[in-house]
Chain A
């Protein structure tokens, strides 16, 4: 059996994509086990994507500004994302359930024994504690207290994999413009992103919530509360002898609560911010941008 599955991460400015064949990790799995093995990747990837979408709360009613930059995000992979309960698949007998590694778990296969000296091996993971992502982003505004955020990246990873695409758009609208006596900046925002790798990976992440901020000269303190959802589909060809069939997993993380707290520094054209996101999983995001 030969399955090709490419795990792709966007990381670092000079190396945007890593195409790593992990077919032999997941080739054991075809259904529920595959979902359990890969679900943490959807959770972590979604948490990464939904980070760094906003900085600060102030949105003037009118006034042109444009910032182009990159966001570096890393999600902390906790113990809860490193194992899952998997059940042996037919025709192995007798059926057994074991706590085994997810894609982020220990790089050690777990073996269970069956009838007549048979053994079922659950594959190990990549033994990862964190998953970083670098995302290009541009923000433009404001019109009627509204700014738009765009994320876009595309690269061809060759015939075997296809195109890697990231496209996202979001809007943030000032609420504090209607409440002149409010001592802080208040806004609401909605962001949606799509990520795909050829016909292998398709992901969609959505975030919506409220943001607050307070600015003192060059510094600003900001925070936010919102909900995020991620849907990831992983599909690949599973080969058996000369035949092959398409296997796909749909993984969803719906309406997860996310709190953000961060600080920003606005040095004329250089804009820097760092924020911490209490989500599942937690992420740390740093951004650097140039604009006016």
Chain B
């Protein structure tokens, strides 16, 4: 009899451990999107690039059935890549984002030192410090619209610049990096010993 009780206890414990239930967990998905601006100018310039909703969604890969809780911009940065033939030693750039037909400043003028001659190629990453709240907010809203499928309009980024010394040829690619995070919740099946809030029946997992 004792053996039977023991076996039942072991089997019950095993069944409890092996059974699953749907629980809600919060996840952080990271967006790492690079927009390349190819520049070949002498003097002031403006270039425009767009990011599509499909690019944002593919990069984030937030699963179907998730609930988006928040989108945050973590950082914007630039990696300069000078090309053979570049004569400029410095470029000053600022960026805007198109929001409801108007350009909103995303970051203020930032100076980037460049390499010339035989030392062309990738330079050091420059984290953008002079960010503008309004522009960051607009970018955040657009990413949220894409990931939540509220509005699939492209994100348009404008890059303005001037070269130093004046009149020298600037031949480079500005790799503009956007790093953002999306907080989302999703119900997933986990064993009983995992935490998380229990999902109601019918909630998607």
Name the distance in Å between B160's Cβ and chain A's nearest Cβ: 18
Contacts of A90 in B (CB 8 A): 75, 125, 127
In Å, the complex CA distance between A240 and B33 comes to 7
Q: Can you name 28 A-B residue pairings with CB atoms under 8 Å?
A: A1-B31, A1-B61, A12-B15, A14-B14, A24-B30, A27-B29, A27-B30, A28-B28, A90-B75, A91-B177, A109-B183, A115-B131, A118-B72, A118-B76, A118-B131, A119-B72, A119-B73, A120-B181, A121-B72, A121-B183, A123-B26, A123-B28, A128-B194, A132-B17, A241-B32, A272-B6, A288-B6, A288-B10
B195 CB–A CB distance under 8 Å? yes
Question: Are A25 and B193 in contact, with the CB atoms below 8 A?
Answer: no
Given contacts A20-B188, A118-B74, contact A107 B193 (CB under 8 A): no
**Interface hit among B41-49, B81-89, B132-140, B149-157:** B132-140
Q: By the criterion CB–CB under 8 Å, are A107 and B3 in contact?
A: no
A108-127 Cβ-contact flags toward B at 8 Å (1 or 0) = 11010011111111111011
Task: Specify the chain B residue showing the minimal Cβ separation from A93.
Answer: B127
Q: CA of A189 to CA of B120 in the docked complex: distance in angstroms? A: 62
Using an 8 Å CB-CB cutoff, how does the interface string of B12-41 with A read, 1 for contact, 0 for none? 011101100000011111111110000000
Given contacts A1-B30, A18-B190, A90-B127, 12 further A-B contacts (CB under 8 A): A1-B32, A1-B60, A12-B17, A91-B127, A92-B75, A93-B129, A116-B132, A118-B131, A124-B25, A124-B28, A241-B34, A270-B3
**In the assembled complex, how far is the CB of residue A163 from the closest CB belonging to chain B, in whole angstroms?**
21
**Which residues from chain B contact A270 at a C-beta distance below 8 Å?**
3
Residues facing A in B75-111 (CB within 8 A) are 75-77, 107
**How long is the Cα–Cα vector from A119 to B32 in the complex, in angstroms?**
15
Closest 10 CB pairs of A and B: A127-B195, A116-B131, A12-B18, A91-B127, A119-B72, A24-B27, A15-B18, A91-B77, A123-B28, A91-B75
B190 proximity list for chain A (CB < 8 A): 18, 20, 126
Residues of A within 8 A of B137 (CB): 117
The answer for the CA separation of A93 and B77 in the assembled complex, in Å, is 11
B193 contacts A130, C-beta separation under 8 Å? yes
Instruction: Fill in one digit per residue for B117-148: 1 if any A CB lies within 8 Å of its CB, else 0.
Output: 00000000101111111001100000000000
Contacts of A132 in B (CB 8 A): 17, 193
A1 CA to B72 CA in the complex, in Å?
A: 15
Contact across chains for A12 and B195 when beta carbons are under 8 A apart? no
Q: A134 CA to B74 CA in the complex, in Å?
A: 41
Using CB atoms and an 8 Å cutoff, list the residues of chain A in contact with chain B.
Answer: 1-2, 9, 11-15, 18, 20, 24-25, 27-28, 72, 90-93, 106-109, 111, 114-124, 126-132, 134, 240-241, 267, 270, 272, 286, 288
Q: Which of A72, A109, A118, A128 contacts B73 (CB 8 A)?
A: A118
B167 located at the interface, meaning its Cβ lies under 8 Å from any Cβ of chain A in the complex: no
How many chain B residues have a CB neighbour from A under 8 Å?
49
Q: Which residues of B contact A127 (CB under 8 A)?
A: 194-196
B74 and A117 form a contact (CB under 8 A): no
Chain B: minimal CB distance from A25 (Å): 7
Chain A residues with Cβ below 8 Å from B77 are: 91
Q: Are A1 and B25 in contact (CB under 8 A)?
A: no
Measured in the bound complex, the distance between the Cα atoms of B27 and A121 in whole Å is 10
Knowing A108-B26, A126-B25, the reply to whether A119 touches B181 (Cβ < 8 A) is yes
Q: Which residues of A contact B67 (CB under 8 A)?
A: none
Contacts of B28 in A (CB 8 A): 24-25, 27-28, 109, 121-124
CB B113 to nearest CB in A, in angstroms, measures: 17
Q: Which of B74, B127, B132, B196 has the most CB of A within 10 A?
A: B74
**Cβ A28 vs Cβ B181 within 8 A:** yes
What 1/0 mask marks residues of chain B from 177 to 205 whose CB sits below 8 Å from any chain A CB?
A: 10101010000101101111000000000
The distance from the CB of B99 to the nearest CB of chain A, in whole angstroms, is 15
In the complex formed, the residue of B with least CB distance to A116 is: B131
Is A126's CB under 8 angstroms from B75's CB? no
Given the complex of chains A and B, what is the CA–CA distance between A25 and B184 in angstroms?
11
Residue of B27, B76, B131 contacting most chain A CB atoms (<10 Å): B27
**A-chain residues with CB within 8 Å of residue B13 when the two chains form the complex:** 72
Asked whether any CB of chain A lies closer than 8 Å to the CB of B59, the reply is yes
